[in-house]
Chain A
Amino acid sequence: MIALLIANSLALASLLIMLSSGLALIYGLRDVINFGHGALYMLGAYLGYSIALAGGFWLALLVSPLLLAGLGIAFEYWVLRPLRGRSHIEVALVTLGLGIILGQALIFVYGGEARGVDAPAALAGSVRLFGLSYPLYRIFLIAMGLGSCAALALWLRYSTSGLYVRAVSQDPSVARMMGVNADRLSLLVTSLSAAFAGVAGVLAGPYLSVDPGMDVSMIVNCLIIVVIGGTGSIAGAIVAALLFGFVQVAGSVFLPDLAALAPYVLLFVVLLIAPRGIGRGRAPA
């Protein structure tokens, strides 16, 4: 029972980690919270759905993130750079507007009903693990989530570009003075973050479903996680995503009537105890 609970919350947390660490990365470099991130995730999911119909799940898992990364580059060149002089709130509002446009365009193309995506044949069944039967696809999901989390941590910790990202996140002006090219980093980070949203979208297909409301529900979850984790803290976001997944899953098991409110209760409890969140985010400049 407990093992099942933990496994299910890890599966949910895997998606949330990929999305909210992407949000935290962009915030670290640009001080911008991308309110359109949910729509990127939705685009990834619908692209995944279409590509999976044409060429299979694995192709979708490869192509959809690549397309999203391209969109992330466009976002950096056409939105973040031209609006560099504007206040962060205004840029956040622009991303909100762009997210609405993207979400509505997807509904216009794909219609209003939910779509189901089948797990690929190799991951269709269940396996017995520690005496429990567990869907193989969720294990794959957890592996992908924890894997990308580990890759992100290794990149930030051991690569030169990761070092620069951490430097800019901690103190943009000093980092720039030391010769770090924040624009080039931002290009990298924005495309990475969009690609992660694409991976999460494709992975969400067989696990949740592909439906018109998925952008709003996911962005709200991610914003809660980013606030709980301490705005801009990637480690905080990862811990918060795990916590969020556990609370959500435990809520739906023990208090199914009130489960929808569980994340909000978590949010307000954390805010009451630690208004800045659990991680060490940077206060906005």
Chain B
Amino acid sequence: MSGGTARVDARGGALFAGGAPARAPLFVLLAALLFGLGAFVPTHLLSEFALRIGAGGLLLGMLALSVAFLMSQAGLVALGAASVYGGVGYLFAICLSEWDLSPTAALLFAFVAVVVYSAALGALIVRTNPLAFMMLTLAAGEMIGHSVMLEGLRDYTSGADGLVVNFKGAVFGLTSADFANATQFWPIAWSAAWLLGLAAFAVRRSRFGATLRAIRENEERMRFSGFGTYLPRLAAFVFVNAIAGVCGLLHVLNSGFVSPESLGLSVSTNALVAALIGGVAGSIGPIAGGFLFAVAQDQFGAHGFTQLLTGFAIVVFIVLLPRGVVGGLIEAARRGARRGTR
């Protein structure tokens, strides 16, 4: 099995791997500084409109992170990210309006339900080969998209109109209005992006990550060596859907609205493109890719060309820039550093 994106190096992209241990504290310090600056400086410098676009980019970047993780670590491309992203929003809205749960309970319920759904779906589809997996995630995504439009569920989902989500009380000390406020939401999205990025980084560096990459490279060999290949892939699928779930919850809290568009194939392909733009190997790439995508969409989206450009971006980045922008920059920097030391 030639398995997936073979171009990603076997250490799992390893953004930080190879750095001497002595430099590690410096990295941590720099990262903490960057995190602090990024959380608060933009809210003072940028307009509300710019912050809104930036937060949208972070959300897309987190969704791209979920796509990219599965792509780089397991060699599997999921085309159904939108079904979890939008689906968790629908569940949250329905929990609030139909079942009168408290906002925190609704958040938890929606998240757990999505994780259970992805475990059940994954149990069926991670057994198949990577191409069939890609087809099946597309089909499953369309299934969720169709099911919110069903006449029988119209009372819950209001069909094509979508649902307004307006909760009373507070979640984590923040009210509905706080989440909708761009200045307040930016630090939340920024922190979430860091948390998820670090989580993905930790999983990549763990033994589990190494197992996943080994299965990606040669599943048969791993089975021969006495490793189970089914459970690790299932766990990876559940993990990336949990990321997509967090992302979807943040989206619904921020926008206060869910609609069938949030479940559409275009959301999944946007996430895929964001991942390809940034490069799928690390954590920074996909999130930066989401950012770039959001800025590009702001520039060109008004003319209705977003989807057309998405198509072009998929082709261009796979054919010409398979490492993406961030991956390419890192590669160039490494090459430069190597030349410098010689």
A binding-site residues for B, Cβ under 8 Å:
31, 33, 35, 83, 86-90, 92-94, 96-105, 108, 216-217, 219-220, 223-224, 226-227, 231, 256-258, 260-261, 264, 267-268, 271-272, 275-276, 283-285
Query: How many angstroms between the C-alpha atoms of A216 and B266 in the bound complex?
Result: 11
Q: Within the complex, what minimum Cβ distance (angstroms) separates A112 from chain B?
A: 10
18 contacts between A and B (CB under 8 A): A33-B134, A88-B2, A89-B134, A90-B318, A94-B318, A94-B319, A97-B315, A100-B307, A100-B311, A101-B315, A103-B311, A108-B308, A231-B132, A257-B150, A260-B150, A264-B140, A268-B124, A285-B1
Q: Please name all residues of chain A whose beta carbon is closer than 8 Å to the beta carbon of B313 when the two chains form the complex.
A: 97
Q: Please name all residues of chain A whose beta carbon is closer than 8 Å to the beta carbon of B143 when the two chains form the complex.
A: 261, 264
Whether B138 and A231, one on each chain, are in contact in the complex, defined by CB atoms closer than 8 angstroms, is no
Query: How many angstroms between the C-alpha atoms of A35 and B272 in the bound complex?
Result: 15
Whether B147 and A220, one on each chain, are in contact in the complex, defined by CB atoms closer than 8 angstroms, is no
B322 within 8 A of A: yes
Whether A100 and B318, one on each chain, are in contact in the complex, defined by CB atoms closer than 8 angstroms, is no
Whether A104 and B307, one on each chain, are in contact in the complex, defined by CB atoms closer than 8 angstroms, is yes
Whether B308 and A100, one on each chain, are in contact in the complex, defined by CB atoms closer than 8 angstroms, is yes
Q: Please name all residues of chain A whose beta carbon is closer than 8 Å to the beta carbon of B331 when the two chains form the complex.
A: none
Given A261-B150, A271-B124, A284-B1: A92 in contact with B315 (beta carbons within 8 A) = no
Whether B149 and A272, one on each chain, are in contact in the complex, defined by CB atoms closer than 8 angstroms, is no
Please name the 6 residue pairs, one residue from A and one from B, whose CB atoms are nearest each other, closest first.
A97-B314, A100-B311, A101-B311, A257-B152, A223-B135, A104-B308
Whether A220 and B142, one on each chain, are in contact in the complex, defined by CB atoms closer than 8 angstroms, is yes
From B125, B131, B265, B312, A33 is in contact (CB under 8 Å) with B131
Q: How would residues 182 to 202 of chain B score, 1 for a CB under 8 Å from any chain A CB and 0 otherwise?
A: 000000000000000000000
Q: Please name all residues of chain B whose beta carbon is closer than 8 Å to the beta carbon of A105 when the two chains form the complex.
A: 308
Query: How many angstroms between the C-alpha atoms of A224 and B142 in the bound complex?
Result: 11
Q: Please name all residues of chain A whose beta carbon is closer than 8 Å to the beta carbon of B127 when the two chains form the complex.
A: 275
Q: Please name all residues of chain B whose beta carbon is closer than 8 Å to the beta carbon of A92 when the two chains form the complex.
A: 77, 131, 134
B6 within 8 A of A: yes
Q: Within the complex, what minimum Cβ distance (angstroms) separates A228 from chain B?
A: 10
Query: How many angstroms between the C-alpha atoms of A223 and B79 in the bound complex?
Result: 13
Query: How many angstroms between the C-alpha atoms of A224 and B125 in the bound complex?
Result: 12
B binding-site residues for A, Cβ under 8 Å:
1-6, 75, 77, 79, 124-125, 127-132, 134-136, 138-140, 142-143, 146-147, 149-152, 265, 269, 272, 305, 307-308, 310-315, 318-319, 322
Whether B314 and A33, one on each chain, are in contact in the complex, defined by CB atoms closer than 8 angstroms, is no
Q: Within the complex, what minimum Cβ distance (angstroms) separates A276 from chain B?
A: 8
Whether B139 and A224, one on each chain, are in contact in the complex, defined by CB atoms closer than 8 angstroms, is yes
Q: Please name all residues of chain B whose beta carbon is closer than 8 Å to the beta carbon of A97 when the two chains form the complex.
A: 310-315, 318
Whether B139 and A223, one on each chain, are in contact in the complex, defined by CB atoms closer than 8 angstroms, is yes
From A94, A224, A226, A257, B315 is in contact (CB under 8 Å) with A94
Query: How many angstroms between the C-alpha atoms of A89 and B265 in the bound complex?
Result: 18
Q: Within the complex, what minimum Cβ distance (angstroms) separates A240 from chain B?
A: 13
Whether B5 and A90, one on each chain, are in contact in the complex, defined by CB atoms closer than 8 angstroms, is yes
Q: Within the complex, what minimum Cβ distance (angstroms) separates B268 from chain A?
A: 10
Q: Please name all residues of chain B whose beta carbon is closer than 8 Å to the beta carbon of A227 when the two chains form the complex.
A: 128, 132, 135-136, 139
Q: Within the complex, what minimum Cβ distance (angstroms) separates B212 from chain A?
A: 16
Residue of B nearest to A271 (CB): B124
Query: How many angstroms between the C-alpha atoms of A98 and B6 in the bound complex?
Result: 22
Whether B131 and A98, one on each chain, are in contact in the complex, defined by CB atoms closer than 8 angstroms, is no
Residue of B nearest to A39 (CB): B311
Q: Please name all residues of chain A whose beta carbon is closer than 8 Å to the beta carbon of B151 when the two chains form the complex.
A: 256-257
Q: Within the complex, what minimum Cβ distance (angstroms) separates B272 from chain A?
A: 8
Q: Please name all residues of chain B whose beta carbon is closer than 8 Å to the beta carbon of A267 when the two chains form the complex.
A: 136, 139
Whether B139 and A264, one on each chain, are in contact in the complex, defined by CB atoms closer than 8 angstroms, is yes
Query: How many angstroms between the C-alpha atoms of A103 and B79 in the bound complex?
Result: 17
Residue of A nearest to B3 (CB): A87
Residue of A nearest to B146 (CB): A260
Q: Please name all residues of chain A whose beta carbon is closer than 8 Å to the beta carbon of B129 when the two chains form the complex.
A: 231, 283-284
Query: How many angstroms between the C-alpha atoms of A94 and B317 in the bound complex?
Result: 9
